[in-house]
Each structure stands twice: as structure tokens, then as C-alpha cells.
Amino acid sequence: MGQPKSAESRKGETLQLPPGQRLQRGWPVTHYGPVPKFRPERWEFRVFGATADGDKRCWTHEEFTALPYATVTADLHCVTKYSVLGVEWGGVLARTIVELAPPAPAVTHVMVWAEYGYSANLRLADFTDERSIFATHKDGELLTAEHGFPVRLAVPHLYAWKGPKWVRGVEYMTTDRRGFWEERGYHNLGDPWREQRYSYQELPGEGPEL
């Protein structure tokens, strides 16, 4: 079979699949609950919580799609043990959102909110990683509804549950709080290279009280 299958890495060097993961061909759809219907006239992308100026910031769909466009090629690691390699995400870098709607100095974490109350918490440093992106496109094409249209987050260095599909907003937080899966037994940090799958693996300081 020749060379072992390699994964894209942060700086382009070759790495193996994260421990316990298997290569998945194609692109399965994985989520909890129904696929929401997109209603452009009611949709907004909202940044709220501990912003620098205390105001919230909203973008309509039209405004959001006019923000600077970037691409990030990355792998998707689902905690259920499959990995999809070499996905090209296109959209708005999380960094761009943080620049346009800066957090207060005390902000340490964010909660990314999606339709139907799905949420994922992230350390601010993970959110502002150079590869974290609010994707509108995959491999040059608009996302399909089941993959998160109109906007989904990708945080390539964490398990994919940390990347909500159908994102509607970002909450800036001055303490950590668990998101949807983090409250239901998944690890607060979710680094696939450290195999941080379940909350019982958390070390002191890796997450708020359960």
C-alpha cells in the first residue's frame, strides 16, 4: 500500500491521522436534530456579550457575504472516529470577525451559537487561530443545507463538534462555560492529537465544573 495516509497539518508538514481516527472517503453528514430552513430576511450574524465597546454587532446575510473572503485547507475529525482529509473551506476568518467586533480585554472564551440552540465553547486563542473560519463554501461551492448553509464554523485543530453548522452568533465570555456536547460528556477542549474525546479525561483546569 506504500505511504501511510497523511493529514494536512497546521504549517503544511506531513502528519499521520490523529490517534484512533480512520480515513473516511466522501463527506458524511453528522449532526443532532433537524436541518434548519434558511430564511434570509430573518437571518443575522450577531456578536454579543463582553464586546470592547459594550455594544452588540450584527450583520445581515448580504453584509456577511460581503466580508473579506479567505480559504483554509484542513481536515475534519469527528469524535466518532472518522476523518475527512483535505477540505477547502472558503469564508470569513474568525480573526476577521474579532477585528471587526473586538472583545473586551477580559474575554477568555467564546460560545459559538447556532440554530436551535446548538453551541460550542472555545478558548479565545482557539477561536482566533489563523485557520478558524466561518465557512460559506466548501471546495469552491456554496455549502449545502445539511453541511451548514449559510455559515458554519471550522476549527481545524479541534474535533469537528467544536464547529457548529448553521451559525447565528458569537458570545464573548469572561469565564468558560460548556456548550451543547461539552455538557453532554464530551471533552471541554477537544484536541484530536491529544485524543481529548470525553469529559472524564479532563485534567484539573481543562474545563469548568460539570
Residue ranges that bind ligand MTE, judged by CB under 6 A: 27-32, 76, 78, 114, 118, 147-148, 160-161, 163-166
Least distance to ligand MTE from the beta carbon of 37, Å? 14
| Contact by Cβ (8 Å): 55, 109 | no
Minimum CB distance to ligand MTE smaller for 34 or for 205: 34
- Which amino acid, 3? Q
Least distance to ligand MTE from the beta carbon of 84, Å? 7
Euclidean distance between the first and final Cα of the chain, in Å? Answer: 45
DSSP-assigned letter for residue 26: S
Binding at 69: pick from Mo ion, ligand MTE, none (beta carbon under 5-8 Å per type): none
Least distance to Mo ion from the beta carbon of 80, Å? 6
d(CA 93, CA 86): 18
Minimum CB distance to Mo ion smaller for 24 or for 30: 30
Minimum CB distance to ligand MTE smaller for 79 or for 97: 79
- For residue 130, what are the CA distances in angstroms to 37, 103, 156? 30, 17, 10
Least distance to ligand MTE from the beta carbon of 164, Å? 4
84 part of the interface to Mo ion, by CB under 5 A? no
Query: Footprint of Mo ion on residues 27-66 (CB under 5 A)?
Result: 30
Other C-beta atoms closer than 10 Å to the C-beta of 72 total 19
Minimum CB distance to ligand MTE smaller for 7 or for 50: 7
Residue showing the smallest CB distance to Mo ion in the complex: 78
Binding at 169: pick from Mo ion, ligand MTE, none (beta carbon under 5-8 Å per type): none
Other C-beta atoms closer than 10 Å to the C-beta of 196 total 21
d(CA 166, CA 121): 15
3-state secondary structure of 91: strand
Least distance to ligand MTE from the beta carbon of 55, Å? 26
Least distance to ligand MTE from the beta carbon of 133, Å? 13
78 part of the interface to Mo ion, by CB under 5 A? yes
d(CA 23, CA 175): 36
- In sequence order, the β-bridge partners of residue 198 are 186
3-state secondary structure of 94: helix
Contacts to Mo ion by CB under 5 A: 30, 78, 160-161
